[in-house]
């Protein structure tokens, strides 16, 4: 059986992924996790700290556990991996359980540029661009950073067409 911290984080992960961080209150997380409010605040000093932990978990599960793994599974050469990322995202956008990019969603939900959770979202998006730039560099793209930034913009536009 998972400990209180893990139950709270798993519940927050599910709820934040599906509904956003501002639409979900700590009382709902506590209730659905079957935990006490004291357990939540013993492990996370604030909701923002819980959001940051959610984003870290999202990066681990989604960026590295799914995206990177799926790209590497589909293609062996650098050029093929770079092309595979388009297929992986195209399929993700079409999934019935598509929930959008949590990093972008959190960033858009928080207006305060100094908010720790917003800053964490910006950093996680930068980490995705580093992954993309690495793929582009390995494939011989002339300006890998520019490619990664342009791809990120295309990803957002493609997501909106859905």
CATH number of the domain bearing residue 145: 1.10.357.10
d(CA 80, CA 133): 14
> CA distances (Å), 91 to each of 27, 125, 129, 133, 162, in order?
35, 20, 19, 21, 12
Find the mean pLDDT for residues 79-108: 88
Q: Is the pLDDT of residue 162 over 80?
A: no
* Residue 1, SS3 per DSSP: coil
- Predicted TM-score (pTM) of the model is 0.86
**Cβ–Cβ contacts within 10 Å for residue 110, how many?**
20
Taken in order 150, 69, 52, 20, the sign of the CA dihedral is: positive
Q: Which residues form the domain of 81?
A: 46-161
Radius of gyration of the chain (CA): 17
**What is the domain count for the chain?**
1
User: And the tokens for 133?
Assistant: 């730039």
Which pLDDT score, from 0 to 100, does residue 159 have?
Answer: 47
Which pLDDT score, from 0 to 100, does residue 93 have?
Answer: 84
Answer yes or no: is 7 within a domain: no
d(CA 141, CA 160): 27
- pLDDT tens figures, 34-45: 999 999 999 999
Collect contacts of 153-158 with beta carbons under 8 A, ≥24 apart.
155/89, 155/101, 156/101, 156/104, 158/89, 158/90, 158/93
**Cβ–Cβ contacts within 10 Å for residue 89, how many?**
18
Q: Is the pLDDT of residue 155 over 80?
A: no
């Amino acid at each position: 059986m998972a400990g209180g911290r893990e139950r709270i984080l798993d519940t927050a992960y599910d709820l934040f992924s599906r509904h956003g961080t501002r639409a979900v209150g700590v009382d709902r997380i506590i209730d659905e996790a079957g935990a006490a409010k004291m357990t939540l605040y013993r492990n996370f000093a604030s909701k923002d700290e819980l959001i940051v932990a959610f984003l870290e978990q999202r990066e681990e599960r989604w960026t590295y556990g799914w995206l990177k793994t799926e790209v590497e599974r589909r293609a062996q050469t650098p050029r093929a991996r770079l092309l595979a990322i388009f297929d992986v995202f195209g399929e993700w956008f079409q999934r019935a359980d598509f929930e959008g990019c949590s990093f972008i969603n959190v960033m858009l939900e928080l207006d305060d540029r100094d908010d720790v959770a917003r800053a964490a979202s910006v950093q996680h998006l930068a980490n995705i661009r580093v992954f993309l730039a690495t793929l582009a560099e390995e494939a011989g793209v002339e300006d890998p950073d520019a490619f990664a930034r342009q791809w990120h913009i295309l990803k957002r536009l493609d997501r909106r067409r859905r």
